[in-house]
């Protein structure tokens, strides 16, 4: 059975979520995860589209590895990376607990929009009165 955040002690679960959210906070790291979606790439292949050094990309990968988002396998000097989406699922489950708050706002918005639309359908257009002539 895979280890989930819920199965880990609360303090460890909080630390895991902290690492995941910290890793996802950086646009370069999110782009790296996007490139790894469905692919296993060498570090040099991951670094190619970025305008930063290979060492900087390696540091970003290290943050992703510590957060559990990337698995890295080394064979000599070659390092392959692949996505591990498990921690993203755990973060999504954690976030989903709060969806009731924004869902209620969407429901309220839908009611308001429906009322506005019904009001437009019922309300006849006001006729323009001809302008009075000054005498």
CATH of the domain at 68: 1.10.10.10
* Residue 108 falls inside a structural domain: no
Mean pLDDT along residues 64-79: 94
pLDDT value of position 7: 53
Mean pLDDT along residues 92-102: 86
* Residue 24 falls inside a structural domain: yes
Q: Are 42 and 82 in contact (CB under 8 A)?
A: no
- Phi-psi group of 50: left, alpha or beta (phi > 0 → left; psi -120 to 50 → alpha; rest → beta): beta
Enumerate the β-bridge partners of residue 81.
41, 72
Give how many domains the chain has, as a whole number: 1
Q: What is the mean pLDDT of the chain?
A: 86
Q: How far apart are CA 37 and CA 77, in angstroms?
A: 23
Q: How far apart are CA 24 and CA 16, in angstroms?
A: 12
Local confidence band at 50 (pLDDT 50, 70, 90 cut-offs):
very high
Sheet holding 70-75, edge to edge: 40-42, 78-83, 70-75
* Residue 129 falls inside a structural domain: no
Over 50: is that where the pLDDT of 89 sits? Answer: yes
Q: How far is CA 84 from CA 3, 11, 76, 119, 126, in A?
A: 13, 22, 22, 51, 61
* Residue 69 falls inside a structural domain: yes
pLDDT in tens, 17-45: 999 999 999 999 999 999 999 999 999 99
Angle between helices 10-24 and 86-96 in degrees, nearest 10: 100
pLDDT value of position 1: 43
């Amino acid at each position: 059975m895979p280890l989930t955040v819920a199965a880990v002690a609360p303090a460890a679960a909080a630390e895991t979520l902290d690492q995941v959210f910290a890793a996802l906070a950086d646009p370069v790291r999110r782009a790296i995860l996007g490139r790894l979606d469905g692919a296993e790439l060498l570090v040099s292949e991951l670094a190619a589209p970025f305008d930063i050094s290979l060492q900087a990309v390696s540091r970003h990968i290290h943050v992703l590895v510590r957060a559990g988002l990337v698995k890295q396998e080394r064979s000599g000097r070659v390092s392959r990376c692949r996505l591990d989406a498990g921690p993203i699922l755990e973060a999504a489950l954690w976030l989903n607990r709060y969806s009731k708050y924004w869902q209620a706002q969407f429901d309220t918005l839908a009611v308001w929009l429906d009322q506005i639309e019904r009001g437009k359908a019922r309300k006849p257009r006001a006729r323009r009165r001809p302008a009075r002539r000054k005498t």
